[in-house]
Every structure is written in C-alpha cells, then in structure tokens.
C-alpha cells in the first residue's frame, strides 16, 4: 500500500482522471487511474470487466493490483492512451458536471474506447450511416448491436534489441519487430542496415478477456518487394 499511496501523491494523480475533481480516493485497478467518488459510481455501472473500482483507503489491495497501477504510471500515462484521439475542443466533464454528462464521457472513453488509438480499439464500429435516417427505435436497436470484447488491461512490451539477425538484403537487413495479440498489431521503427539493432521501444496492446498467445515477428523492410 505504501507504493500505491506514493503513486497517489504525484501531482498528476491528485485530480480525478475523468473530471479533474481534487483529491481522488478511488481508483480503477485494472485501468490504472485515480478517480473521484462521483466518477467511481459511473465506473461501477459499466461493469468490472471494464473497470474494477477500489477505494485507496478502505479496500484491501493485492500485490498484483498495486503492481498494475504502478506499471501504468498514473493518470497522465493512462489518459495519454485513452484520450489520445480526443477531438479538438472536446469538453471533458468538470467536478460539478451533471451525472448524465459524466456517464456519457466515461462510457465513451473506456467502454466504447472512442478516444483510443484506432489500432488499439477492441470495440467494433457502429453500423453504417444509413441508420441515421431510421426511426428512433431502429437507432436504439442499432446501438445494441455494437460488438464488445471484454477488456481487462493494457500489455506493455519493451522491445530492447536483437543480436546476429539473419541477412535478408545483399549484406545486411533493415529489421523491425511486429507484435500481434488477437486482431491487434503494434510495431517498432525500422532500423536501417543493422544485424544487431537496438530499439528500446515500448509497445502497448489492449488485452481482451479471452486472449491467445502474443506473437512476435522480426521482419526485414524492403522498398520494392514484400518484407522478409
């Protein structure tokens, strides 16, 4: 708990990740954010498969839950992911926002993942725009057809480097690494002409409730033909 309280004392974590209310004493253990009591109620309403709400002061935390919070790094790190594509000029809820406004934002941010980088999203798109001309009842049924995959956290993978990689060009290679988890992919930058590349890059993948193995591929980038 000392590690958790130390994390809470960071300036970025002294305000709610969702509405900026001061002195949050609640957290979403699987997402890795500190939240206020009002936002914690909305987090509970979306279900524990989306957000597992815990009190920083009242609940008993497991070592894994604390380590998960520490690994995320706090509100700024989490918001850099979950709000990466927040539209310009979008007004987030404030501490005195109505419950409806708060609920709409939190569901959009975490459940529908509307502001997440597209390659990390694990929620299917809405039906085609043809539905805009449909009746209200049809619109409601269309919303219920949104495909949801249960989301349990974010996997951080640090790709450090490679040694003695295979030659795939005339005398060297232009390597890069691709990680695949389910239908998601993330990749490092390409390093030109190097069989012992050093990346030191951190890649992030959303983790669904039911996930298979993490697949790692090392490829050689080619300009005119398919990558080896």
- Over residues 110-169, the pLDDT tens digits come to 999 999 887 777 643 333 333 333 333 333 332 322 234 455 677 888 999 999 999 988
86: Cβ–Cβ under 8 A, 6 or more apart, which residues?
A: 92, 115
Helix (H) or strand (E) holding 142: helix 136-144
Angle between helices 99-106 and 37-45 (to 10 degrees): 60
What is the three-class DSSP state of 165?
coil
All domains in the chain, ordered by first residue: 1-111 (1.10.220.150), 151-220 (2.60.40.150)
Cα–Cα distance, 112 to 125 (Å, whole number)? 9
Q: 6-20, 121-135, 188-202, 203-217: which has the minimum mean pLDDT? A: 121-135
Greater pLDDT, 17 or 208: 17
CB 176 within 8 A of CB 161: no
pTM of this structure: 0.55
Q: Is 133 helix (H, G, I), strand (E, B) or coil?
A: helix
- Specify the pLDDT at position 151: 54
pLDDT one-digit tens code per residue, 26-55: 999 999 999 999 999 899 888 888 999 999
Mean pLDDT throughout 4-32?
94
Identify the three-state secondary structure at position 77. helix
DSSP 12: G
- 2 three-class SS: helix
């Amino acid at each position: 708990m000392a590690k958790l309280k130390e994390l809470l004392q960071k300036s970025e974590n002294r305000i709610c990740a969702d509405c900026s209310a001061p002195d949050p004493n609640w957290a979403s253990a699987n997402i890795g954010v500190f939240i206020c009591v009002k936002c914690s109620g909305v987090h509970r309403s979306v279900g524990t498969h989306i957000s597992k709400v815990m009190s920083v002061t009242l609940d008993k935390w497991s070592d894994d839950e604390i380590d998960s919070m520490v690994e995320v790094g706090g509100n700024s790190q989490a918001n850099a992911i979950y709000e990466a594509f927040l539209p310009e000029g979008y007004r987030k809820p404030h501490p005195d926002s109505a419950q409806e406004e708060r609920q709409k934002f939190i569901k959009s941010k975490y459940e529908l993942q509307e502001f997440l980088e597209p390659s990390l999203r694990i929620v299917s798109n809405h039906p085609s725009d043809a539905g805009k001309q449909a009746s209200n009842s049809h619109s409601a049924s269309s919303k219920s057809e949104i495909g949801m995959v249960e989301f349990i956290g974010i996997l951080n993978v640090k790709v450090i480097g490679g040694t003695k990689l295979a030659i795939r060009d005339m005398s060297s290679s232009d390597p890069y690494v691709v990680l695949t988890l389910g239908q998601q992919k993330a990749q490092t930058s390409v390093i030109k002409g190097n069989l012992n590349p050093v990346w030191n890059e951190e890649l992030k993948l959303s983790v669904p409730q039911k996930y298979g193995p993490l697949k790692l591929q090392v490829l050689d980038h080619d300009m005119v033909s398919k990558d080896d």
